[in-house]
Structure 1
Amino acid sequence: MDEVRSSPSARLKNTAQKRPDSLHIDLLLAPENGLFHLNDLSENECDNSVNVSFQNISYYVNEGFFKRRKKMLLNGINGEFYSSELSAIVGPSGAGKSTLMDILAGYTTDNLTGEIYVNDNIRDLSLFRKQACYIMQDDHLQPLLTVYEAMTIASDLKLSNTLSRQEKNEQVKAILVSVDLWTQRKVKTQELSGGQKKRLSIALELLTNPQIMFFDEPTSGLDSVSSMQCIQILKKLASSNRTIICTIHQPSATILDLFDHLYVVADGSCMYQGSVKALLPYLEDIHLVCPTFHNPSDFLLEVLNGDHGSYNEVLLKKSQNGLNQNWRKQIKAIPIVQEPRTPSSISKSIKEVKSYMKRQTRFCSNSYSISIPSQVAILVKRTILIISRDKTLTLNRLLTHFLIALFIGTLYFGIGTDAGDMLNNIKFMFFSIMFLMLTSFNCITTTFPSELPIITREHFNKWYSLKSYYLALTFADIPVQIFATLLYGSITYLFTKQPIESFRLILFLCMCVLISLVAQSFGLFIGACMDVKNGVIFGPFCMLPFTIFSGFFVQMNACHPSMQWLFHISFLKYGFEGMVLSVLGYNRPNLPCNKEYCHFVRPDKFLSTMDMQESTYSAAVKFLLGLFFFIRICTYFVLKFQIRKSRGRRK
């Protein structure tokens, strides 16, 4: 049996060794026609071995609503993961694999006891997250971007501005070639296969050359061939002096043999920690013999599930909950055999890679590679590109506003010139408010929740700050909404023959825009709070009070005094007043009457009837603008809370 590693220094020395060239992966592209080799790097300050260990880790969740009780998911487990090893966390469903992965990656930090160490020092989480990346089970990618666009935008966000566009493009090409995605570079990510999406997820994180990579179920949903390709990529990554840790549920025997280190979890405890080859002898020590030609991982799961008797307590005692290191395989120093290369090309490659990495020193220091304004600019560019391809957010929205404007303009054609059509004119204005409110609200409510998993992944892996994303979303989508609203407002205003006075047209359009922006902000708030299903159900319900107290169905002076305060918080009331005042206010002269009797020849009389005689356009603008900024700020904090909360849902 291989000896246990005796000391932290010895472990670091052993794990710093690299693996044979047969396991080598090329990741960085040289300016010439060759590829940089990460194994050539030996002196770069960010290219050190990183070993992760943990002691007495326990984690619990709260259960129950009225009577809170704790449920332990991890029970004082211990373990170590070394660089240059491909490590797998295995176990039956509900064993605590993903929970342990979330804790080690820094994704989960609450309700946690115990210590996590990096190179035998207590982990500094902020520094650790700059050195690590977490690729989750579901490949949350921007579906409307091509592979090359996704990589290019990621390089702009994750790489320093000191690099030229050409250098970034070369880096992107090298990584795509390495993961066999270069031929699919013009394919949209939504059209990729499961294996290709997984490889793209890996490629996106390789841009910053992370030393620690976590993978949650990397083979989930993949066929046997794609699974093998994925694990082979991870094997090659580990050979370049990285620490690769992944959870895997039920690997085939061939895939299991690719792993260097196995960490077995059941019932929240460690049942085995050691090499793959030592697993069967370990089980044979307690008289559990795997049948010939039987998959060892299947046999292991059968044992843990109690199919061969109750052995979990025995295994727990034997592994000492992860403290027993006697079954680990000690890594020997193996000479590295590189492919034939001339001394001059090798020297030049090493020099240029080191030059590249020195310009990436921010990876070891600052939180983000570029400034907040630069992040916003890049994210605005990405959001505009996505919006331009999203039929729901652009084409359908513009087409809907245009067609409904033609329909309503034709239906209410010419009603703005006659006093006899005053009530119909008011109905047109209220319909316009409702239409602008519902379209603005529903568009963002049904599309934004799908962005949350993508934001969570990218923000956690230090692509950008949440503030930058939120500002970019605001800057990119508001112009589209304003354009659609102006399209509707201009057509209906002219078709209904409202007063052809420039200041009235401007006031009318401004009020239309403010109503749509406030409704869009409400939609964004609901989208940040709820998923699509709940947003569609509860969203309109939330808008119902604003509609009832808008001043159209009942005026405030006719309402019970105990409910009059609700009119003052209804943004539709202020929007309705502002739209009516833009057309009938500001001392508009009497309207002509083409009927025998017109009750509202004088516009001020109608305003008095609608309880708007004291209303002002400026008050409506101030309220709507204030509400717009208030909701946007609240949405930011809700989004921030939701992203933090989402880390606790993956249990």
Structure 2
Amino acid sequence: MGEKLPVITNKEKKHLLNNINGDFHSAELTAIMGPSGAGKSTLMDILAGYITHGVTGQININDKVRDLSAFRKQACYIMQDDNLQPLLTVNEAMMVAVNLKLPSDLSLSEKAKKVMEILESVDLGSDRETKTFELSGGQKKRLSIALELVTNPQVMFFDEPTSGLDIVASKQCITLLKELASLNRTVICTIHQPSASILDLFHHVYVVANGSCMYQGSVNALLPYLSEVHLTCPTFHNPSDFLLEVISGDHGDYSQILIQKSKNGLSQRWRSEIPYSAKNGLREIYQTPVVTQPPVQLTCIKDTPNTYSTSFGHQLLVLLKRTFLVISRDKTLTYNRLLTHFCIAIFIGILYYGIGSEAGDMYDNFKFMFFSAMFLMLTSFNCVTTTFPSELPIITREYFNKWYSLKSYYLALTFADIPVQICATLLYGSVTYFLTKQPVESFRIVSFLFMCVLISLVAQSFGLFIGACMDVKNGVIFGPFCMLPFTIFSGFFVQLNACHPSMRWLFHISFLKYGFEGMVLSVFGYDRPKLPCNSEYCHYSRPEKFLSNMDMAKSTYSLAVIFLGGLIVAIRISAYFVLRVQVRRSRGKRR
């Protein structure tokens, strides 16, 4: 790999890597080292194919220019944060991985056997039924590795694999990576400041500083390399600490000297071959081999039209099952939502008890329906605004590592939450409808509940769209403001005929107006007979008179259904394309 990496940062072109060179061998564990901001993660992202834009130069595999699409099928990238589904058990997470990453014609028993082999190899066999949020940091890291071992990748990239781990867990993690490399894999990881014992586990060190290579070679040759320029590491001093001191200029400015000495990564003088005995004589801390199948040569695999191991339909089924499982265990998103709708329904039903059967309470009934529309809109919207921001790191990892297509993930996530939202809406609508004593006519009941569901699904769609556009903080703050115009122009606060002509178009795009009108029409429309009046005079004894005064006499239920249904489809399609952009941007942000 060579040449430069120009990246646009704050509208200025900046070279993050400068004409660096290097090579990484199979059966070798490589540490990319350097201080913060040196370009370690940028180099790793380029090698893994995580960053492709703004890069010049060439990456070869076995002396041939890399075919990135084919390469990504044989490689995996395990990032610094262990982005796992917290409510799945270890075994469930592994079964999702094998069902997505292995051919669908493989039997369930074969998949289960492979899962058990991999879990035993990473010392997680006894934790199969443990939920991932209950795992320790080291166990989460091993599970992240196990998930990618399903496809037996030949090149493995790790970004700061020891981050957040104690010295014991860190050493176990790097020892595991060394075992993976011993099976003829190329294993590359970034690491900031390893201890001396951890540094000794690496075969190869690649040192980056200010976007240039200051050393490429074996661990044993590092100190002799530095001593050739009169930099002597004190006795009992951690070599990695001394190296960072040199890079930081604590011992003088040796940056250009070391870059020239290593020929910016081109020199092979300090590389050393790993003896065959060393490859097979590693100290084992796990009892079973990591994989039972021999690795394949990178050059033997060519790109195929099928980007993923399984079909779109199979991916959708697996992801739907996973999402339903997560939703069923999520108390906040599922059970609390149902409980909230039920409790508010009881409260509102008692507050407006019996208003639907008396002409004198017509306007109170009108206010009840508007509150119901508002409540359903806000709860449906707020429940999903954090969905994509919280899931984005998981999507990015799994999508980049070729688990599934983004379309299958998006459809699974959006479809899975619809039944829960519909159940919550029907629960609220049914309880309030009968407590407020609305007309007991089947077509009115169905029309009212159906309109409630449409309002909820439109608001949910907007929540998904806002969640795809913004992070959690901005979504929570600015999301409700996006709902404000729909509320103002709903026809409750200001009616269409009383509004300034220049603003009337806003009524025609307010989904809450159409939903609210649909609810009112389902109760008061369709030639409902005169309501009984318990007072001397009831101005709105006839529902058609009330509809006329509320500027709803010419409104139609079917138009509301068509508008809201079309809006649901349009917003969800838009949210998908926004999510695509966000996934790509999340990769670019790592620069």
TM-score by length of 2: 0.96
* Matched residue, 1:412: 352
The unaligned stretches of length 5 or more in structure 2 are: 283-288
2:463 is paired with a residue whose SS is helix
Deviations 1:360-406 (A, max 9, x none): 99997731111100100010000000000001211000101111111
Deviations 1:514-570 (A, max 9, x none): 000000011111111111111110000110001000000000110001100001110
Quick check: 1:299 aligned with 2:242?
yes
Quick check: 1:124 aligned with 2:67?
yes
Distance in 1 (alpha carbons) for counterparts of 2:303 and 2:181: 20
* Matched residue, 1:75: 18
* Matched residue, 2:155: 212
* Matched residue, 1:331: 274
Match of 1:643 among 578, 583, 587: 583
Give the drift of 1:356.
Answer: 13
User: Do 1:253 and 1:296's aligned partners in 2 also have CA atoms closer than 8 Å?
Assistant: yes
User: Do 2:469 and 2:579's aligned partners in 1 also have CA atoms closer than 8 Å?
Assistant: yes
User: Do 2:208 and 2:215's aligned partners in 1 also have CA atoms closer than 8 Å?
Assistant: yes
* Matched residue, 2:40: 97
Distance in 2 (alpha carbons) for counterparts of 1:133 and 1:429: 53
Distance in 2 (alpha carbons) for counterparts of 1:363 and 1:152: 26
* Matched residue, 1:281: 224
Quick check: 1:172 aligned with 2:115?
yes
Match of 2:470 among 523, 530, 545: 530
Q: Which amino acid aligns with 2:492?
A: F
Counterparts in 2 of 1:551-630, with a 5 A limit? 551-630=491-570
Quick check: 1:515 aligned with 2:515?
no
Give the drift of 1:249.
Answer: 0.2
* Matched residue, 1:367: 307
* Matched residue, 1:62: 8
Distance in 1 (alpha carbons) for counterparts of 2:429 and 2:559: 21
Distance in 2 (alpha carbons) for counterparts of 1:372 and 1:562: 47
* Matched residue, 1:252: 195
Cα gap change, 1:475 to 1:96, in 2 (>3 Å): same
* Matched residue, 2:334: 394
User: Do 1:218 and 1:230's aligned partners in 2 also have CA atoms closer than 8 Å?
Assistant: yes
Give the drift of 1:56.
Answer: 2.1
Match of 1:202 among 142, 145, 154: 145
Match of 1:150 among 81, 89, 93: 93
* Matched residue, 2:369: 429
1:86 is paired with a residue whose SS is strand
Q: Which amino acid aligns with 1:299?
A: F
User: Do 2:104 and 2:314's aligned partners in 1 also have CA atoms closer than 8 Å?
Assistant: no
Give the drift of 1:461.
Answer: 0.4
1:83 is paired with a residue whose SS is coil
* Matched residue, 2:286: none
Cα gap change, 1:519 to 1:335, in 2 (>3 Å): closer
User: Do 1:440 and 1:523's aligned partners in 2 also have CA atoms closer than 8 Å?
Assistant: yes
Q: Which amino acid aligns with 2:238?
A: N
Distance in 1 (alpha carbons) for counterparts of 2:423 and 2:189: 47
**Identical columns (%):** 72
User: Do 2:182 and 2:279's aligned partners in 1 also have CA atoms closer than 8 Å?
Assistant: no
Distance in 2 (alpha carbons) for counterparts of 1:327 and 1:337: 23
User: Do 1:130 and 1:364's aligned partners in 2 also have CA atoms closer than 8 Å?
Assistant: no
Cα gap change, 1:335 to 1:70, in 2 (>3 Å): closer
Distance in 2 (alpha carbons) for counterparts of 1:385 and 1:335: 45
1:263 is paired with a residue whose SS is strand
* Matched residue, 1:544: 484
Q: Which amino acid aligns with 1:152?
A: M
* Matched residue, 2:84: 141
1:169 is paired with a residue whose SS is helix
Distance in 2 (alpha carbons) for counterparts of 1:72 and 1:538: 36
User: Do 2:183 and 2:295's aligned partners in 1 also have CA atoms closer than 8 Å?
Assistant: no
Give the drift of 1:60.
Answer: 2.8
Q: Which amino acid aligns with 1:628?
A: I
Give the drift of 1:589.
Answer: 1.1
User: Do 1:290 and 1:299's aligned partners in 2 also have CA atoms closer than 8 Å?
Assistant: yes
User: Do 2:154 and 2:296's aligned partners in 1 also have CA atoms closer than 8 Å?
Assistant: no
User: Do 1:362 and 1:369's aligned partners in 2 also have CA atoms closer than 8 Å?
Assistant: no
* Matched residue, 2:285: none
Give the drift of 1:426.
Answer: 0.7
Give the drift of 1:446.
Answer: 2.9
Distance in 1 (alpha carbons) for counterparts of 2:293 and 2:60: 30
User: Do 1:363 and 1:369's aligned partners in 2 also have CA atoms closer than 8 Å?
Assistant: no
* Matched residue, 1:8: none
1:598 is paired with a residue whose SS is coil
Cα gap change, 1:630 to 1:152, in 2 (>3 Å): same
Distance in 2 (alpha carbons) for counterparts of 1:534 and 1:564: 30
Q: Which amino acid aligns with 2:259?
A: L
Give the drift of 1:71.
Answer: 1.8
Quick check: 1:225 aligned with 2:179?
no
Distance in 2 (alpha carbons) for counterparts of 1:100 and 1:338: 31
Deviations 1:225-283 (A, max 9, x none): 00000000000000000010000000000000110110000001111111111000110
Give the drift of 1:447.
Answer: 3.6
The unaligned stretches of length 5 or more in structure 1 are: 1-54, 340-348
Q: When the two structures are aligned, how many residues end up with a matched partner?
A: 581
**Higher alpha-carbon deviation: 197-206 or 314-323:** 314-323
Cα gap change, 1:642 to 1:545, in 2 (>3 Å): same
Distance in 2 (alpha carbons) for counterparts of 1:253 and 1:172: 34
TM-score by length of 1: 0.87
Match of 1:450 among 384, 390, 395: 390
Match of 2:265 among 322, 333, 336: 322
1:392 is paired with a residue whose SS is helix
Give the drift of 1:110.
Answer: 0.9
* Matched residue, 2:403: 463
* Matched residue, 1:109: 52
Superposed CA RMSD: 2.0
Give the drift of 1:331.
Answer: 3.2
